[in-house]
Structures are given as structure tokens and as C-alpha cells.
């Protein structure tokens, strides 16, 4: 599963948001993602991909922003 797939699955499981409704421009706060839920999602990402997110990351506002952070870490890990 890629980062956008993980985000979509997480949002569907936690909030009941259908994956088809989650795109790069989806604003996390507008679909009910609060700071605690964002942390849960980031922890799940760390566990799934075996990476550690920096503690000084500015919380992204959109699904696309979050996926870009995640993809950057995955790319560096593989590179």
C-alpha cells in the first residue's frame, strides 16, 4: 500500500469517509481530522513503512501535503 492508500484507508476506518472522496486537495480539518487523529495516522505510517517522522514537521493541511511528506520519507529510505 502506498501513502495515499494508507491515508484513504485510515480515513475510511476512523471517519467513514469513502476513499473515492479523498483526493490530494482534501483539507484534513474539513473532513474531521484533528491533531490527535493526525498523530495516530502518522504513527501508523511509521509502523507500516518502518520510518520515523521528524518531530518538527509542520502538520500538513491537506491529504496531498501529508502524502508528499510520507512519500519523501519513503523515497529517501529506498534511495
Reported as a single tens digit per residue, the pLDDT across 30-45 is 999 999 999 899 888 8
CB atoms within 10 A of CB 20: 8
Average confidence score pLDDT of the chain: 88
For residue 27, give the 3-state DSSP assignment: strand
The pLDDT, as a whole number, for residue 78 is 64
The pLDDT, as a whole number, for residue 16 is 95
Cβ atoms of 4 and 48 within 8 Å: the answer is no
d(CA 24, CA 4): 8
The pLDDT, as a whole number, for residue 71 is 86
8-64 confidence digits (pLDDT tens): 999 999 999 999 999 999 999 999 999 999 989 988 888 888 888 777 888 899 999
The torsion angles phi and psi of 62, rounded to 5 degrees, stand at: -125, 165
CATH code, 3-78: 1.10.1200.10
Amino acid at each position: 500500500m502506498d501513502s495515499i492508500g494508507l491515508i484513504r484507508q485510515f480515513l475510511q476506518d476512523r471517519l467513514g469517509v469513502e476513499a473515492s472522496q479523498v483526493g490530494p486537495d482534501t483539507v484534513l480539518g474539513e473532513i474531521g481530522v484533528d491533531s490527535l487523529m493526525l498523530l495516530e495516522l502518522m504513527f501508523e505510517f511509521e509502523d507500516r513503512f518502518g520510518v520515523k517522522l521528524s518531530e518538527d514537521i509542520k502538520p500538513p493541511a491537506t491529504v496531498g501535503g501529508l502524502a508528499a511528506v510520507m512519500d519523501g520519507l519513503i523515497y529517501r529510505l529506498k534511495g
